[in-house]
Amino acid sequence: MKLEVEKLSCGYGDVTAVHDLSITIGTGEMLGLLGANGAGKSATIMALAGLIPVRRGTVRIDGHDITKMPAHARIAEGIALVPEGRRVFADLTVDENLTVGGTRLGIKALDRAREKVFETFPRLSERRRQLAGSLSGGEQQMLAIGRATMAMPAILLIDELSLGLMPIAIDECYRALSEFRDEGLAILVVEQNTERVLRAADRVAVLESGRITWEGTSGQAFGHARILEMFLGSGV
């Protein structure tokens, strides 16, 4: 399934945070969206998820226009969001959080989807009856990712995956994303850990002041002096 975004503009209140953004993400592909704080990365993901309105432009899934669809309808179209800050339900157990993510599924499909999450993240299986609020930050991020996949999406949007996480948890999350990509998911990840996303993503796009200023493969980004200077420092 392909996500096509053409000349998208969006923002908050009177402020336009993103201007004429165009990206395409295909089946089994991971795109990393890079940019400084305030560049418009989170606004882009929120607009794609239907959480803020698109002011101009179009969003299509396999040619089907979803630009005006509300967030709940986009879930049915195959889009799932892992929000910044994880936002798990702290007073629910791991099992219950996953059930919330799979409310559209029948009982048997729900059980299969839950077991798939536990195969992907064995630590969650060990803690399935724990309250989500008692998990570590890394475990909560695993739960947020798992909860999103319970909807059986074709397109996964992830906002600031590694923010505040220990390296071992970051590695575990990216291992899971690589598996999802290999299974055919289209993935868009906003990331402050630039080196990590460059090593994981197939392509990256650089967002500056709400506009895409560069797009290419991760390998090309590692060879691009300005991108290395902007995001990784001159010593890389």
Q: Are strands 3-12 and 15-25 parallel, antiparallel or unpaired?
A: antiparallel
Model pLDDT, residue 37:
86
The DSSP code sequence of 6-51 is EEEEEEETTEEEEEEEEEEE-TT-EEEEE--TTSSHHHHHHHHHTS
pTM of the model: 0.91
User: Which domains can be identified in the chain, with CATH numbers?
Assistant: 3-87+153-232 (3.40.50.300)
Consecutive 10-residue runs of the chain (236 residues): their mean pLDDT? 96 94 97 91 96 97 96 94 92 96 89 96 96 96 96 95 92 96 96 87 94 92 72 49
Beta strands in 100-227 (DSSP E): 155-159, 186-190, 203-208, 211-217
